[in-house]
């Protein structure tokens, strides 16, 4: 039987730097835990545009459809700001999500005890925080038609269309309920049913799926603007938050900062099961390409490493090994190892990107 396959797309900015550290971790699991992977690598984003004139070559897209998981670093940067919208680096990522039909975006927001003081909220509000936002990823206002900038009379009009079908809502709702069964067994669905017809349909379909298939899971509903307020008032009231593409984009970034640093947060984008039973999947850190620190060995690789931990859990049926990796990260932080983004006044000198990766591998070694 062949090894499971991973396509690595380092991308732009700090993407290649953090992905180098992920490769160290993947290598350790192969050497010490017998988890060998067939690894291939290709270009995405600005790096792909520089070589091919497109942010995602068709051959790369075909590879992504064939592998068991895609691991992506980051895309974008100021050198590409003036490109036409159709070939901006971010279009490569959007094409991956759309053509792989990755409809469920999982964004955990976990506050490690060692970093509770980094949040802008009081420590007792965020200490022990562990929530999961499930964002619908392939429909809604980012993809709805009509869209564009048009001329009406003497002025321009910008149009984007919020559109959801029952089936699109139902499948991401099922993903949320299944995830909740493995966690705290409760889901809070967020929309704007008070002012949006798409929100009314969203709430109706979520209720239907809950009553027919998951009555044992606790379900509540909340308007998304109230949800944003509640995330900063009492975030630990939530376990799984289910929401649409636009609100999920906003709410997940809000939740991200509860933990103190975007450099800490992974994500998974999952689709329908393939022939081997594994879901199509793309894993990536929440942070961007950070062009201001590119090439300076300052980048925090933890979010990308934790994205690989999510791959172990959701694509490779290795939940125990995912926990091993997450525990190693937690131990390194508890030991006071910090990249520059995690420094406070009076701390010792920060470690480099490579040194953080080495520290995590050392902690993995100590776990044996």
* pLDDT (tens place) for every residue of the chain, 368 residues total: 689 999 999 999 999 999 999 999 999 999 999 999 999 999 999 999 999 999 999 999 999 999 999 999 999 999 999 999 899 999 999 999 989 999 999 999 998 888 888 888 888 899 889 999 999 999 999 999 999 999 999 999 999 999 999 999 999 999 999 999 999 999 999 999 999 999 999 999 999 999 999 999 999 999 999 999 999 999 999 999 999 999 999 999 888 888 877 668 899 999 988 878 888 999 999 888 999 999 999 999 999 999 999 999 999 999 999 999 999 999 999 999 999 988 876 677 899 999 999 999 999 999 99
Q: Which of 63, 225, 236, 358 is catalytic?
A: 225
Residue 162's pLDDT is 97
Same-domain status, 285 and 227:
no
Q: Which of 42, 239, 244, 249 is catalytic?
A: 249
Same-domain status, 247 and 296:
no
Residue 264's pLDDT is 84
Count CA within 13 A, CB hemisphere, residue 59. 6
Q: Cβ–Cβ contacts within 10 Å for residue 256, how many?
A: 22
Same-domain status, 273 and 356:
yes
CATH number at residue 310: 3.40.718.10
Same-domain status, 54 and 68:
yes
Q: CA nearest 49: which of 96, 86, 8?
A: 86
Extract long-range pairs of 174-178: CB within 8 Å, 24+ residues apart.
174/209, 174/213, 174/214, 175/103, 175/104, 175/134, 175/270, 176/104, 176/134, 176/240, 176/242, 177/209, 177/210, 177/213, 177/214, 177/217
**Which domain-ending residue is among 227, 258, 289?**
258
**Which domain-ending residue is among 204, 227, 258?**
258
Q: How far apart are CA 358 and CA 58, in angstroms?
A: 35
Q: Which of 49, 80, 142, 164 is catalytic?
A: 142
Known catalytic residue: 81? Answer: no
Q: How far apart are CA 342 and CA 347, in angstroms?
A: 10
**Helices 166-181 and 197-213 sit at what angle, rounded to 10 degrees?**
50
Q: How far apart are CA 153 and CA 168, in angstroms?
A: 36
Same-domain status, 134 and 253:
yes
Identify whether the C-beta of residue 289 lies closer than 8 Å to the C-beta of residue 268.
no
Identify whether the C-beta of residue 133 lies closer than 8 Å to the C-beta of residue 318.
no
Q: Which domain holds residue 225?
A: 130-258
Residue 115's pLDDT is 85
Identify whether the C-beta of residue 269 lies closer than 8 Å to the C-beta of residue 106.
yes
Q: Which of 50, 101, 130, 253 is catalytic?
A: 253
Give the phi and the psi of residue 135 in degrees, each rounded to 5: -110, 125
Same-domain status, 368 and 333:
yes
Q: How far apart are CA 72 and CA 300, in angstroms?
A: 15
Answer whether residue 295 is part of any domain: yes
- Strand partners of residue 71: 8, 283
Residue 346's pLDDT is 64
Same-domain status, 206 and 290:
no
Q: Tell me which residue has tokens 């180098």.
A: 20
Count: domains in the chain:
2
Identify whether the C-beta of residue 308 lies closer than 8 Å to the C-beta of residue 70.
no
Residue 112's pLDDT is 86
**Which domain-ending residue is among 258, 289, 312?**
258
Known catalytic residue: 117? Answer: no
Q: Which of 49, 164, 192, 280 is catalytic?
A: 192
Residue 78's pLDDT is 94
Same-domain status, 134 and 237:
yes
Known catalytic residue: 244? Answer: no
Angle at 301 between CA 3 and CA 100, to 5 degrees: 50
Same-domain status, 291 and 355:
yes
Residue 345's pLDDT is 64
């Amino acid at each position: 039987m062949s090894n499971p396959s991973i396509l690595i797309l380092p991308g732009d900015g700090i993407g290649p730097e953090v992905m180098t550290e992920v490769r160290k971790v993947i290598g350790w699991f192969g050497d010490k835990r017998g988890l060998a992977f067939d690894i291939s690598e290709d270009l995405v984003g600005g790096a792909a545009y520089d070589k091919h004139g497109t942010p995602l070559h068709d051959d790369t897209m075909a590879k992504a459809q064939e592998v068991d998981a895609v691991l992506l670093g980051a895309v974008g940067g100021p050198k590409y700001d003036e490109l036409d919208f159709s070939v901006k680096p971010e279009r490569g990522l959007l094409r991956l999500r759309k053509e792989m039909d990755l409809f469920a975006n999982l964004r955990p927001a976990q506050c490690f005890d060692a970093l509770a003081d980094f949040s802008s909220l009081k420590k007792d509000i965020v200490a022990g925080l562990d929530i999961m936002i499930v964002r619908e990823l392939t429909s809604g206002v980012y993809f709805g038609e009509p869209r564009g900038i048009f001329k009406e009379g003497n002025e321009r009009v910008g149009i984007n269309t919020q559109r959801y079908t029952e089936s699109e809502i139902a499948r991401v709702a099922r993903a949320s309920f299944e995830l909740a069964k493995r966690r705290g067994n409760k889901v809070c669905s967020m929309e704007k049913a008070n002012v949006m017809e798409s929100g009314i349909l969203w709430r109706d379909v979520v209720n239907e799926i809950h009553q027919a298939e998951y009555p044992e899971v606790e379900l509540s509903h909340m308007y998304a603007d109230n949800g944003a307020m509640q995330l900063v008032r009492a975030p630990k009231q939530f376990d799984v938050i289910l929401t649409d593409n636009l609100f999920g984009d906003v709410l997940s970034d809000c939740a991200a900062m509860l933990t103190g640093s975007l450099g800490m947060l992974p994500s998974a984008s999952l689709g329908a099961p393939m022939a081997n039973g594994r879901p199509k999947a793309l894993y990536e850190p929440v942070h961007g390409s950070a062009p201001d620190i590119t090439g300076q060995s300052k980048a925090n690789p933890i979010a990308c490493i934790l994205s690989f931990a999510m791959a172990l859990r959701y694509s490779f049926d290795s939940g125990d090994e995912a926990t091993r990796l997450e525990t190693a990260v937690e131990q390194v932080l508890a030991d006071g190892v910090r990249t520059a983004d995690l420094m406070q006044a009076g701390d010792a000198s920060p470690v480099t990107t490579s040194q953080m990766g080495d520290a995590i591998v050392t902690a993995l070694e100590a776990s044996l």
